[in-house]
Amino acid sequence: MITIKNLHKQFGDLEVLKGIDLEIKAGEVICVIGPSGSGKSTVLRCINRLETPTSGTVIVDGHDIMDPRTDINYVRTEAGMVFQQFNLFPHMSVLENVTLGPLKVRKIKPEDARHLGYDLLAKVGLAAKAENYPDQLSGGQKQRVAIARALALQPKVILFDEPTSALDPELVGEVLEVMKKLAAEGMTMVVVTHEMGFAREVADRVIFIDQGVIQEEGPPHEFFTNPRHPRLRDFLGKVVHKCADD
Amino acid sequence: MAFQFQPHIVVETLPMLMRGVWYTVYLTVGGLFFGFLLGVTAGLMKLARPVLARKLSGMYVELIRGTPMLVQAMFLYYGVPMAVGLRIPPLVAGIIVIAVNSGAYIAEIVRGAIQSINIGQTEAGRSIGLTRAQTMRYIIWPQAFRRMIPPLGNQFIISLKDTSLLMVIGVGELLRTGQEIVAVNFRAFEVYMAVAIVYLAMTMSIAKALRMLEHRLTTRTR
């Protein structure tokens, strides 16, 4: 589904990614964890080329995103994205947010888009809010709309960039529930997250990125109970401690 | 003999100014129509990828913003015909000057408003497969346009008042009409007061219209 080989990304003098290799199979749920500034979001943003990799190979569903002949707009419909800050379109209703892509990119008929929009909003539990505007929603509701918007193009994979990090703690659950449902339906997902509980429960594989490289990866059970890399042990120690306090 | 204010002259002057009002309206509406098109084009060019487009737009803004409009008007009306041997009618020259002048300021308003929209909006648009142009049209522009309204209102009012400078190239606009009346009755105080009242009425109408537009755009989307 996604193949990443020797991915490097440099911002000016700062080398954020120093050679990432990752293979993601269809239907897999991958959780990416690591300290802030480690480059985990950059990996995600290189997959749909919101950031252009400095070097390396990224292949998404057979499309080489570094090839200038690749239609990147098409690849982006195959790889939906959910952002930390939701990035809903504030001047459009919830329904319009969801149907914009199908209407303008897939060019489907307005009544079909409407049905699709309502179906997806029902799926994230927000059909009743279809005619509302984003600033009338809570953070959790906004993120669920953003997930519906990503789903509207029927992507083959969804990239989640810290989807719950901007939420009040009591709103995190509703977003994770929707994500769990997607995972159970077999959606391929790459999730950058600090939610260790979610990673442990839902992920097929957990990836630990630090200082621009993948330091450790494995199935969650092994990963969390028996971390080998000292940096991961250190990181988990801090994060788990924090969770126990909450 | 002491000066004596005669209010009835102010009132009597107002209808005599109507012909000038029409010219001021032509200059303002025509000038701002083309000025808006020019400003949007130059503003978008400033944000475009090709270096040449950005440079051209930057030079245009610098050149116009850095020289007085009065000089621009006299150069276009008296200077350019000497070089090309073709006289431009005063009203046309006036509209060109207002358009080119307001366009430079509107370019900066457009650029600023577009840049003030969070980059996340562009990323979200591109992430659902929209092209750059579609993202601008459906996502960035509608939000940026709303932010442009207050500074655009400012510019519209400035341009309307600046049409008075065009009396130097012989456009029979409001101020020139007033001046012609003064030449006959010598009542400068009352006549220019009447002129000022008419300008004020026009600028207040613009302000009111833009407030209504802003209100409509904000309430529709809450």
Q: Which residue has the tokens 């012989």?
A: B170
Q: Is B201 helix (H, G, I), strand (E, B) or coil?
A: helix
Chain B residue closest in CA terms to A159: B127
Q: What is the signed CA dihedral for A160, A165, A166, A170, rounded to 10 degrees? A: 110
Nearest CA distance, A232 vs chain B (angstrom): 31
* pLDDT tens digit sequence for A193-219: 999 999 999 999 999 999 999 999 999
pLDDT, one tens digit per residue, over B138-191 is 999 999 999 999 999 999 999 999 999 999 999 999 999 999 999 999 999 999
Q: Which of A38, A65, A87 is nearest to A192 (CA)?
A: A38
- In angstroms, the separation between the Cα of residue A153 and the nearest Cα of chain B is 7
Q: Is A100 on the interface with B (CB under 8 A)?
A: yes
Is the CB of B131 inside 8 Å of chain A's CB atoms?
Answer: yes
Most B CBs within 10 Å: which of A88, A104, A105, A165, as the mutation test of the B interface?
A: A104
The answer to whether B124 contacts A100, with C-beta atoms less than 8 Å apart, is no
Q: Which residue has the higher pLDDT, A37 or A57?
A: A57
What does each C-alpha distance from B66 to B21, B72, B107 come to in angstroms? 29, 11, 14
Residue of A nearest to B123 (CA): A50
CA distances to A71, A132, B149, B208, B209 from B213, rounded to whole Å, are 40, 22, 8, 9, 6
pLDDT at A245: 45
Give the whole-angstrom CA distance, residue B53 versus residue B219: 36
Q: Does A166 touch chain B (CB under 8 A)?
A: no
Who has greater pLDDT, B222 or B91?
A: B91
Arithmetic mean of pLDDT, B93-108: 97
Question: Across the interface, do B222 and A136 touch by the CB < 8 Å criterion?
Answer: yes
Nearest to B121 among A80, A89, A101 (CB): A89
Indicate which of B118, B128, B132, B214 best probes the interface with A, i.e. most A CBs within 10 Å of its own CB.
B128
Q: Å from B221 to nearest chain A CA?
A: 6
Rounded to the nearest angstrom, the minimum Cα separation between B134 and chain A is 8
- Answer whether B122 touches A (CB < 8 Å): no
Structure tokens at B216: 């409509």
A99 pLDDT band, cuts 50/70/90, is: very high
pLDDT at B1 over 70: no
Tell me the pLDDT band of A223, cut-offs 50, 70 and 90.
confident
Beta-strand ranges (E) seen in chain B are none
> Is B51 within 8 Å of B59 (Cβ atoms)?
no
Predicted confidence at residue B177, as pLDDT, reads 95
- Residues in chain A with CB shorter than 8 Å from the CB of B140 are none
Please report the pLDDT score of residue B218 as a whole number: 77
Q: Does A244 score more than 60 pLDDT?
A: no
Question: Looking at beta carbons, which residues of chain B come within 8 Å of A101?
Answer: 128-130
Place of tokens 């032509």: B26
Give residue A237's pLDDT band: very low, low, confident or very high (50, 70, 90).
confident
Residue B145: list chain A partners with CB under 8 A.
none
Within 10 angstroms of residue B192's Cβ, the number of other Cβ atoms is 17
